[in-house]
């Protein structure tokens, strides 16, 4: 697998879609097709070398993991172009609504049964990534786009190749916390269906272990553990 920036060509920026914490996303007309350009701009507060390293590795990781997820049957935008030196990814523009806003609409219309299906599917996708040694790294309802009847996963920049329980647990912990912080009233029912789909992919035994780890991550009273560690250093 190799990406070469085509450079040149015709590029017309149509609009800024989002100015996230990490990257700026543009809708762009690139060689006559509409694409999303995700560009990680330098952060002044970071040491230039570290800044470069972070932006480059995240750009490469994101493109790679999106590509691999897709091969596993987990829908992600098609990657068109990766320009490592400028930390740019060009990818398919997904028409749809982010799951986070989609859930707001559902709550208004009370069509909850749609959600059970969505979360089961999301569980299947997460499970498939995990069984294949990929952790998404920022699994939240803002990073899933509902496009017609397909769920498309985006934002793999914090992803890792990881087969360990802790990384998988953290992924699920992040999803649960995002559910609770935005849609507290339906968080647990959504999570239940998520786990149903997840178990189907990873097996019930492993799913139970992951859920247990999620509880443990949340219950970690960091303060006390640190003090114990402090003494370990004596």
Partner 1 sequence: MKRKVTVLGIESTAHTFGVGIATSEGEILANVNYVYTFEKGIHPREAAEHHSSVAHKAVKEALDKAGLSIHEIDAIAIALGPGLGPCLRIGATVARALSLYFNKPLVPVNHCVAHIEIARLTTGAEDPLVVYVSGGNTIVSAFVDGRYRVFGETLDIALGNCIDAFAREVGLPQPGVPNVEKMAERGSKYIPLPYVVKGQDLSFSGLLTMALRKVREGERLEDVCFSLIETAYSMLAEVAERALAHTKKKQLVLTGGVARSRRLQEMLREVAAEHGAEFHVVPPEYAGDNGAMIAWCGVLAYIHGVTIPVEESCIRQRWRLDEVDIPWRR
Applying CB under 8 A, which residues contact partner 1?
19-22, 43-47, 49-50, 53-54, 137-140, 158, 170, 174, 181, 217, 220-227, 229-234
By the 8 A CB rule, do 203 and 130 touch? no
Among 28, 81, 155, 171, binds ligand ATP (CB under 6 A): 155
232 annotated active-site: no
Among 30, 36, 128, 141, binds ligand ATP (CB under 6 A): 36
Q: Is 75 in the site for ligand ATP (CB under 6 A)?
A: no
Q: Which is nearer to partner 1, 35 or 123 (CB)?
A: 123
Q: Closest separation between CB of residue 42 and partner 1, Å? A: 11
Among 154, 170, 174, 202, binds ligand ATP (CB under 6 A): 154
205 contact, one of partner 1, Mg ion, ligand ATP, none, CB 5-8 Å limit per kind: none
List 81, 85, 105, 138, catalytic entry: 138
Other Cβ atoms less than 10 A from the Cβ of 182: the count is 16
Q: What is the Cα–Cα distance from 124 to 69, expressed in whole angstroms?
A: 12
Q: Is 76 in the site for Mg ion (CB under 5 A)?
A: no
3-state helix, strand, coil in the chain (%, to 5): 50, 20, 30
Please report the beta strands in the chain, taking only residues with DSSP state E, as ranges in sequence order: 11-19, 24-30, 33-39, 79-83, 88-92, 97-98, 134-135, 144-147, 150-153, 160-161
Beta bridge partners of 145: 98, 152
Catalytic annotation, residues:
138
């Amino acid at each position: 697998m190799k990406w070469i920036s085509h450079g040149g060509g015709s590029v017309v920026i149509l609009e800024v879609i989002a100015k996230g914490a990490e990257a700026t996303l543009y809708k762009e007309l690139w060689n006559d097709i509409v694409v999303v350009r995700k560009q990680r701009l330098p952060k002044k507060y970071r040491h230039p070398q570290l800044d470069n390293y972070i932006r480059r590795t995240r750009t490469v990781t994101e493109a790679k993991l999106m590509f691999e997820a897709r091969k596993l049957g987990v829908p992600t935008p098609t990657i068109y172009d990766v320009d490592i030196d400028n930390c740019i990814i060009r990818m398919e523009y997904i028409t749809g609504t982010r799951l986070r806003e989609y859930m707001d609409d559902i709550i208004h219309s009370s069509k909850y049964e749609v959600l059970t299906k969505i979360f089961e599917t999301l569980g299947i996708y997460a499970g498939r990534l995990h069984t294949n040694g990929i952790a998404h790294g920022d699994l939240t309802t803002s990073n899933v786009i509902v496009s017609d009847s397909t769920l498309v996963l985006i934002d793999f920049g914090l992803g890792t190749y990881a087969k360990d329980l802790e990384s998988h647990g953290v992924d699920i912990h992040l999803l649960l916390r995002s559910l609770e912080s935005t849609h507290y009233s339906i968080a647990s029912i959504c999570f239940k269906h998520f786990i149903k789909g997840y178990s189907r992919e990873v097996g019930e035994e492993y799913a139970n272990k992951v859920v247990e780890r999620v509880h443990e991550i949340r219950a970690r009273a960091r303060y006390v553990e640190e003090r114990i560690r402090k003494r370990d250093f004596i």
